[in-house]
Structure 1
Amino acid sequence: MFTVADRKRVRDLLLARARADEAVVGAAYTGSLATGNEDRWSDTDLVLSVRGDDVTETLERWSRWFYAELDARHHWDLSAPPAVIRVFLLPGWLELDVTFTPEANFGPRGPQWQTLFGRTRPIQPFAPPDANTLIGLLWHHALHARVCIQRERWWQAQHWIGEMRAHVVELACARLGHPTSHAKGAHLLPDELTARLEATLVTELTAPELNRALAEALSLVTAELRQSAPELATRLGPMLEELLEGQS
């Protein structure tokens, strides 16, 4: 694995290149590095402000440099129009998430931002997860888990139960004001809740075990709804209980 010294060396190279590139008019750190919360394992999140409206030429030129000078092994993209987030893997499992954004879109969307140079613009913050959508996904996944158990599709059933667990984490984190994406706030949840989440883990692909895990997940969903959306808990609770009837 990479060392802290490896990570610092690459960051220094990135910033030196950004300052020397006439097409790059700003740079900022995001993520844990921007707030002083990084640890020995943190990756690097860098935003580059690109002159003009089109980042394509700069994006591809920088990508060639990553492979030629930093020995990148792979990359993939997250689309975030008008920006592109290109995620690079370097030797030693050093991950670099580099956002290339037009200069008019260069600015913080939340508190995890540290401007290194360049002019920032006021940008709309990221919208929080929609609770109604999360609740819809929960009953959808619960139904499909139940059906998959009946069809003896064990792997698919455990998939849906796992998705239920992930959305309960997201809904609870949103309610408590913790980070919601990728379970980043899960470690901040109360012990009582995480203990119930643990009970939803599937330990073997058998009908009895899947039924047990689904029952735990349904109970947890109902409990979370009572806190996040009491009216929906009253409306959906009896229907969720119906999914436990006739388990085989």
Structure 2
Amino acid sequence: MMFDPGDRARIRDELLDAARADADITGAALVGSAARGAEDRWSDIDLVLQLDRGAHEPTVVERWTAALRDRHGIADTLDVFAAGDVRYRVFLLPTSLQIDVSFWPHDLFRATEEGFALQFGTAAAPTRAPDPEVRRMIGMGWLYALHARSALARGKVWQAAMMLDDLRDEIVALQCLRAGVNPWHGRDVDRLDAASLRLLEQARADSLRPDELERSKRALLALFHDEVRAHDTALADALSPALSALTE
């Protein structure tokens, strides 16, 4: 059975109570939609924990994992490391509720994104996560386009479709970055202007037919070239012959 908002609120309160009672935890904050006052039916729990200076991080992580497993059951976990090797352990409960708990070294505990609701403890001065690198995004874009062309030529329609999806993702991230909205993981793509969204929609392939994938490739390359030009005119000029060759 899927979780409901009441379940989520109760579990979040349990986690905060557990953090206050844990001698290895000296601070906690909520981030994400709860901290921004933007929760909806589908929101997860995002909890940031500050480790005591003497805490052994792996031991604390495994103790918290065991407690969650005993209390609510766990379908699976995923560890993601970011912000200087801070561990984010992502829990998937059997109810499909996602719980993200990050374990921060004492002196690194701070806000790194919009929305940081400190529950207890003392946070360092906030920092902002760096935006993705435009040149790398552009490089990945033309690389995906190259592989889409070769996949189509070899009759590998599924690979071609996947490469075109990846190309579109880079275009979306570049557009979001230019629009000043979150470029990560499509979180703010729906905030792009209607004209941009319409062109992205039109550039999607509606089947795995080779001619339809070819049409999508051409449309996406046009959008990609325009987006490169918006970020770096000289690079767009340098890429023009190669991108044109990809449509032949």
Shorter-normalised TM range: over 0.9
| Match 1:78 to one of 62, 77, 80 | 80
CA distance in 2, matches of 1:31, 1:194: 25
What stretches of structure 2 of length at least 5 have no aligned partner? none
Amino acid at match of 2:72: L
CA distance in 2, matches of 1:105, 1:70: 30
| Match 2:239 to one of 217, 233, 236 | 236
Map residues 201-220 of structure 1 onto 2, 5 A cutoff: 201-220=204-223
| Match 1:162 to one of 158, 165, 172 | 165
CA distance in 2, matches of 1:124, 1:5: 32
- Residue 38 of structure 1 deviates from its aligned partner by 1.6
CA distance in 1, matches of 2:17, 2:113: 26
- Residue 74 of structure 1 deviates from its aligned partner by 1.5
Q: CA offsets per residue over residues 93-136 of structure 1, 9 Å max, x none?
A: 11100101111110011222111111111354211110011111
The answer to whether residue 105 in structure 2 is matched with residue 102 in structure 1 is yes
Is contact 1:49-1:102 (8 Å) kept? yes
Is contact 1:145-1:160 (8 Å) kept? yes
The answer to whether residue 118 in structure 2 is matched with residue 115 in structure 1 is yes
Is contact 2:24-2:60 (8 Å) kept? yes
Q: CA offsets per residue over residues 153-195 of structure 1, 9 Å max, x none?
A: 1111111100010011100111111001110110011111111
Amino acid at match of 2:62: E
| 2:51 match | 50
After TM superposition, what 4+ stretches of structure 1 lie above 3 angstroms from structure 2? none
CA distance in 1, matches of 2:57, 2:128: 21
Is contact 1:26-1:48 (8 Å) kept? yes
**What secondary structure is seen at the aligned counterpart in 2 of 1:126?**
coil
The answer to whether residue 193 in structure 2 is matched with residue 190 in structure 1 is yes
Is contact 1:54-1:102 (8 Å) kept? no
Is contact 1:173-1:180 (8 Å) kept? yes
Between the two proteins, the alignment pairs up a number of residues equal to: 245
**What secondary structure is seen at the aligned counterpart in 2 of 1:181?**
coil
| Match 1:64 to one of 63, 66, 69 | 66
Is contact 2:110-2:127 (8 Å) kept? no
C-alpha root-mean-square deviation of aligned residues, in Å? 1.3
- Residue 91 of structure 1 deviates from its aligned partner by 2.9
Q: Could you tell me the TM-score, scaled by structure 1's length? A: 0.95
The answer to whether residue 12 in structure 2 is matched with residue 11 in structure 1 is yes
State the identity as a percent: 36
